[in-house]
Every structure is written in C-alpha cells, then in structure tokens.
Chains A and B, each alone.
Chain A
C-alpha cells in the first residue's frame, strides 16, 4: 500500500518504508531503502544524517510524493502542505525573485513576504532575475519560497552544499532563526554532522544502502550556539550510539 495521504488526525510526520528498490540499467535491482521507520513530532526539526549515496534523496522524493513506487506508508503532518528546498535552488529563471516566491506561495500576503525578504536579506533583490544572483542568494530565495508557503512540513535537501564554509554557517544561522520563530515541522537531509547538530532537535542516523534508521539522538539544547566542549560531548554520544549499534 502506497499511502501519502494527509490524514487529518495525524499531526506528526510518520514514515514507514518497508522496501524501495531501483531497476538498474544493467538489469538487476538495487535495494535503496529497507525497513526505514521514524516519526517526527509536530513543530520539531529532524535531521537525517548518513553517508553520501545511502538513499537520502530517494527518501525525500518518497516523502514529498515525487516517487510512489515503494512499499510502505508516509503520513504527512496536518494537511500535508509542503515547502521544499532542493539541493539546487530550482528557481524559474524567467521570473523575478518576488514572482518566484509568489508562484510557490500564492496565498502569502505582502506583509509576510516583506518580513521574509527582510529576514533573509533579499529586500534589495526582489525585482532581480535568478541569473543575476549568486548561489548563496539563490539559495536564500529558495528558502524564502519554502517558508512563504507556511508549510505543514518543510523539507530541505542539503540546502548548504557547495557554499563556502563561512556563508554556509551564516545561512544556517538564518535558517535556525526562522525555524525557531515559525515552529514549522522540518526535515533536513545532510551529510554534515555539525550542520545537523546546529539545526535539529533530533538526529536520525542512517546506515549505508539499503538505508534504515540505525539510531536516534536527541539534542538537548537545539539551535543555540554550542561550545566546543558541548559539541565534543554530542559527537562522543553519537560515536557511542553507533558503536553500540555496530556491536549488535
């Protein structure tokens, strides 16, 4: 049963995928996901962390309804309204920054857009076309579009990849501030443990392909600057958890 229904009563994100495989070009099938289960409470930020090529993007495609060829079920929170930030900004190059956001979120009011553009430092670029923006700015527009939707679930697929470290850190802080102020249920996929620790309430650690959740690690004080000591402690806990799982 493939069920991506926005069930009214369910307020949390509920993912339970039994099996997902691809038909390889050479003829065989490649299993990408197996028995992958997790739930994310309403208003919480979950981070899916795993090695590259473990099927994270496939998982997101299933959750967002772009791929329905799997066995299992996905229940989206509330009405299932989605806001998504893809790995690439995926803006319409022939529409201005503001038009791009409005087309993604036709119900957003002027005041809401003003606030978003202000928070993301885009006010000066409203009438620019995406071709006139840097990658960092285009990423911000993609973030603005996803937040403008006022989504029931915000999905981010490696939103800071291929930005320089300083800019990635800066954008991550802006994202943390937005998520905190808006209480959006958020799912972020990343290969960077530090990024995950800096943003999430809860980490879901994924195994190599076929991926499943090997461990969940709650972050005690999410989205506040961690000291080096705290970071080391969290990394230590994660190592311990992974170690325990590995021995089983």
Chain B
C-alpha cells in the first residue's frame, strides 16, 4: 500500500511534467523522454559519473565538517549559559549572512581553491547545525548525568551512551535539513569557481540555454540523494530508535 501510493504519486509527477512540455514546447520544458535520453548519453560517456562523484565528495566533506563542528559548539552552547551568551551574536550574524556572500568572500580571500569551496559550504551549514543541536543540549536529562557521575563513567562512555543517544533526534533533524541544504549550496560553489561537478555542468548548460542538460543533471543528483536517504539515513535512524516501544 505504502509503495503503491508512492509509485502513484511519482507517475502523477511524470504525467504533469509530460503535459507541461506538450504545452510549453520542447525547448522551454523538454519532456521526460528527451531528458531521459540525455541522461543516458551523459551516463554512457562517463561524464555523469565524474561530475556526480565530484559533487558528492564535496557534499560529504563539507557536511561532515559542519556537523562535527556544529555538534561540538551546539553542545557547548546548550550546556553553558556564558558560552551561549558570548557566541549567540556570532551565530545570529552567521545565520543571516547570505550563502552567496560567504561563498564570494571565501573565493576572494582563499582563491578559487577546493579548500575555499568546502569551507564556504561548511560555514553555510554550520549555524543551522549549531542551533538544532543546542536545542537538544538544552533539554538533556540532568538525572542521567548525575547517574553517570556517581557511577564514575568515563568521558567516552558518557559521550557515547548518555549524551549522543539523547541528542539523536536532533542530530537526525540536522542531518535531514543539512544534506539537502549542503548539496544546494555545493552547486552554487561549483557554478562560481570549480572546474567540475554538477554545478559546473549546469553553469555550462545555462550559458548554452540547454534546459535538457540542466534537468538531466538535476534529476540525477536528486536520485542519488533519494538513494542516500533511503539506504543510509533511514536504516541508521531505525537502528538508533530501535529501543523505542513500537506503536501497536
């Protein structure tokens, strides 16, 4: 039932796309079959895999960087009022700095390098991770903390078995919103200053007004992210929440 309704919704989407292309014309909105063919050609030449891999690598590195640093700062701010008060204005500034400003500044200051690109993406995701994890750290159970202290648990045990499991729902939320945010920003970074990746390809296609290629690359990447969500994020989530009593 679940799969069937999902499939039906997907079919509906393709049908809507098809009729849109019939109405607007193939040049403005290429139909599913045209885009599918373009996708196949790009895949055959190896270009698709190459650019997808480049983008995916950037997404992975900047995402891990932002989550690791964001989690650490978030926990710190959630647990210490002083740190929270000191760091909050910085956080608000970073939250409201447009992604484009951060990217351009990173490229101006560090050159058109891979490091600049990754740092720019990570900086864009960072405040979002901090805010989410801070919320989790504020709601930590002090009773479990005291229990860990009385039993003399080591820092590592407390982190792994007491702290992280409590933060798991918040980390999951940050991961969800983070992955989609990060990949969108990676494309802009690639468009502005990288010689490969999905964003670079879309930049070229834009200059040639090649809507088919734009859609082909966009769809390819959405499919990759969908696969990551289904085969990586969801199984991890199921494993982490296995202890919750199941609804009958």
Q: Which of B100-108, B148-156, B207-215 contacts A (4 or more CB under 8 A)?
A: B148-156
Given known contacts A92-B161, A95-B161, is B243 in contact with A131 (CB within 8 Å)? yes
Main secondary structure of the interface of B (DSSP, over half): helix
Binary interface encoding of chain B residues 216-248 relative to chain A, with 1 for a CB under 8 A from any of its CBs, else 0: 000000000000000000000000100111000
The number of chain B residues with a CB under 8 A from chain A is 18
Q: Report which of B149, B157, B244, B245 forms a contact with A103, defined as CB distance below 8 A.
A: B157
Q: Are B245 and A65 in contact, with the CB atoms below 8 A?
A: no
User: Does chain B have a CB within 8 A of A233?
Assistant: no
CA gap between A81 and B161 in the complex, in Å: 21
Q: Are A94 and B243 in contact, with the CB atoms below 8 A?
A: yes
CA gap between A65 and B240 in the complex, in Å: 32
CA gap between A104 and B240 in the complex, in Å: 21
Instruction: Tell me the residues in window 126-147 of chain A with beta carbons closer than 8 Å to chain B beta carbons.
Output: 129, 131-132, 145
Tell me which residues across on chain B come within 8 A of A65, comparing CB atoms.
Answer: 149-150
Q: Are A86 and B147 in contact, with the CB atoms below 8 A?
A: yes
Task: Report the minimum CB–CB distance from A135 to chain B (whole Å).
Answer: 15
Q: Are A129 and B243 in contact, with the CB atoms below 8 A?
A: yes
Tell me which residues across on chain B come within 8 A of A122, comparing CB atoms.
Answer: none
Given known contacts A103-B161, A131-B243, A131-B245, is B151 in contact with A82 (CB within 8 Å)? yes
Tell me which residues across on chain B come within 8 A of A93, comparing CB atoms.
Answer: 243
Q: Which residue of A lies closest to B166 (CB)?
A: A94
CA gap between A104 and B168 in the complex, in Å: 21
Given known contacts A92-B144, A95-B161, A103-B161, is B150 in contact with A66 (CB within 8 Å)? yes
Q: Are A84 and B151 in contact, with the CB atoms below 8 A?
A: yes
Instruction: Tell me the residues in window 69-90 of chain A with beta carbons closer than 8 Å to chain B beta carbons.
Output: 81-84, 86, 88, 90
Tell me which residues across on chain A come within 8 A of B165, comparing CB atoms.
Answer: 92, 94-95
CA gap between A132 and B244 in the complex, in Å: 9
CA gap between A99 and B144 in the complex, in Å: 15
CA gap between A103 and B159 in the complex, in Å: 12
CA gap between A103 and B152 in the complex, in Å: 10
User: Does chain B have a CB within 8 A of A149?
Assistant: yes
Max chain B C-beta neighbours (<10 A), residue from A86, A88, A92: A92
Instruction: Tell me the residues in window 117-157 of chain B with beta carbons closer than 8 Å to chain A beta carbons.
Output: 143-144, 146-147, 149-153, 157
Q: Which residue of A lies closest to B161 (CB)?
A: A103
Task: Report the minimum CB–CB distance from B133 to chain A (whole Å).
Answer: 18
Tell me which residues across on chain B come within 8 A of A83, comparing CB atoms.
Answer: 151
CA gap between A134 and B195 in the complex, in Å: 61
User: Does chain B have a CB within 8 A of A186?
Assistant: no
Binary interface encoding of chain A residues 172-207 relative to chain B, with 1 for a CB under 8 A from any of its CBs, else 0: 000000000000000000000000000000000000
Task: Report the minimum CB–CB distance from B172 to chain A (whole Å).
Answer: 13
Q: Are A82 and B245 in contact, with the CB atoms below 8 A?
A: no
Q: Are A66 and B243 in contact, with the CB atoms below 8 A?
A: no
Q: Are B153 and A66 in contact, with the CB atoms below 8 A?
A: no
CA gap between A81 and B150 in the complex, in Å: 9
User: Does chain A have a CB within 8 A of B162?
Assistant: yes
Give the top 4 A-B pairs by smallest Cβ distance, nearest first. Answer: A94-B165, A129-B243, A90-B147, A94-B243
Question: 29 A-B pairs, CB-CB below 8 angstroms?
Answer: A65-B150, A66-B146, A66-B150, A81-B152, A82-B151, A82-B152, A84-B151, A86-B146, A86-B147, A88-B143, A90-B143, A90-B144, A90-B147, A92-B144, A93-B243, A94-B161, A94-B168, A94-B240, A95-B165, A95-B243, A103-B151, A103-B157, A103-B161, A104-B151, A104-B153, A106-B157, A131-B243, A132-B245, A149-B151
- Give 14 new A-B contacts, CB below 8 A, not counting A66-B146, A94-B243, A131-B243: A64-B150, A65-B149, A81-B152, A82-B150, A84-B147, A84-B150, A90-B146, A92-B161, A92-B165, A95-B161, A95-B243, A99-B161, A105-B151, A131-B244
